[in-house]
Amino acid sequence: MRKSMGKVKTVFICNECGYEHPKWIGKCPKCGNWNSFEECETFIPDSRKKAGAPANSPILLSDQSLPPAGRIVTDISELDRVLGGGIFSASVNLIAGDPGVGKSTLLLQMAGGLSRKGISVLYISAEESFWQIQERARRLKADQLSLPILIETDLDNILSQIEQKKPDVVIIDSIQAIFSQEVSGTSGNISQVRECSSRLFRSAKENGWSLFLVGHITKEGSIAGPKLLEHMVDVVIYFEGDTLYQYRILRSLKNRFGPSHEIGLFVMESEG
Ligand SMILES: [Zn+2]
């Protein structure tokens, strides 16, 4: 079911670099990979803005009425370092890693720390129940915090909650589990990942909140992995480690706001 007016266009996207082409081609002219193209639906609204929505106006560089760009320090020192000194204003950050490595735990711990400092965080889970998250929060001693947890998979509902709550930081676990009604296919396919992430990124940049997106690494070719996302986001952090040990490595592969290839050694305080 489609909610808004517009049309769906079919394009082919290189899974390795995000290059777009109207027809299927065997070799990507941008990155040189073979057989990397996948059919992808893009939703094109009738007009870029919904009727009645105000258009953006130019802002003077000297404008003092806006909050200054800055960084929010998470107080997880290794994460702050890998981020380049904290979370940059209106940044889009991808946390990629194998399922079960502890991405959700790290981000819940970050959310708890930010919430304690009075920073408004919206934690959105598309994969787990409220009780699973509450149980993890209990282990992290964060279950007494008034941290809003939204269990939702529909992108439109996610965006409208963000619009209402106006958080500073939004966490979505995971990009592969949310879907948009504007394009076809199940969550996790290339059309869905591309459509959901581009609409989230646009909202983050326009409204000034920072996004942390969980991306699972998977070997299945049909799942659009973090590879495609890497080209769209500002910061790419890989979270690696053996699930048997409590040591984890945070590694920034890309950072538009700081040095990339920073490494942080991280000790999980709790399993999960
Ligand atoms: Zn390519």
Structure ipTM: 0.98
Give the Å distance between the CA of 131 and the centre of ligand 1: 41
Q: Look at residues 15, 239, 198, 165 and name the one whose alpha carbon lies nearest to residue 92.
A: 198
Give the Å distance between the CA of 27 and the centre of ligand 1: 8
To the nearest 10°, report the CA torsion of 139, 144, 147, 149: 60
What pLDDT tens digit does each residue of the chain (272 aa) get? 555 678 888 889 888 888 889 999 999 999 899 998 888 888 887 765 555 566 778 888 888 776 667 899 998 999 999 999 999 999 999 999 888 888 999 999 999 999 999 999 999 999 999 999 999 999 999 888 889 999 999 999 999 999 999 999 999 999 999 999 998 888 888 889 989 999 999 999 999 999 999 998 876 544 556 678 888 899 999 988 876 777 889 999 999 988 888 888 877 765 44
Amino acid at the residue 31: C
Give pLDDT, residue 209.
95
Give the Å distance between the CA of 170 and the centre of ligand 1: 30
Give the Å distance between the CA of 35 and the centre of ligand 1: 9
Give the Å distance between the CA of 28 and the centre of ligand 1: 5
Domain-wise residue ranges, the chain: 1-46, 69-267
Instruction: Work out whether strand 121-125 and strand 149-151 pair parallel, antiparallel, or are unpaired.
Output: parallel
Give the Å distance between the CA of 220 and the centre of ligand 1: 18
Give the Å distance between the CA of 227 and the centre of ligand 1: 10
**HSE-CB for 67 with a 13 A CA cutoff:** 11
Give pLDDT, residue 226.
67
Give the Å distance between the CA of 130 and the centre of ligand 1: 39
The first and second tokens of residue 254, run together, are: 């890309």
Please list, in sequence order, all residues whose beta carbon lies within 8 angstroms of the beta carbon of residue 250, skipping any fewer than 6 positions away: 78, 79, 82, 237, 238, 239, 263, 264, 265, 266
Give the Å distance between the CA of 232 and the centre of ligand 1: 13
Give the Å distance between the CA of 98 and the centre of ligand 1: 23
Give the Å distance between the CA of 224 and the centre of ligand 1: 14
Amino acid at the residue 199: R
Give the Å distance between the CA of 203 and the centre of ligand 1: 26
CA distances from 266 to 103, 225, 242, 269 (A): 12, 24, 12, 9
Give the Å distance between the CA of 32 and the centre of ligand 1: 6
CATH of domain 69-267: 3.40.50.300
Give the Å distance between the CA of 271 and the centre of ligand 1: 37
Give the Å distance between the CA of 72 and the centre of ligand 1: 34
Give the Å distance between the CA of 253 and the centre of ligand 1: 18
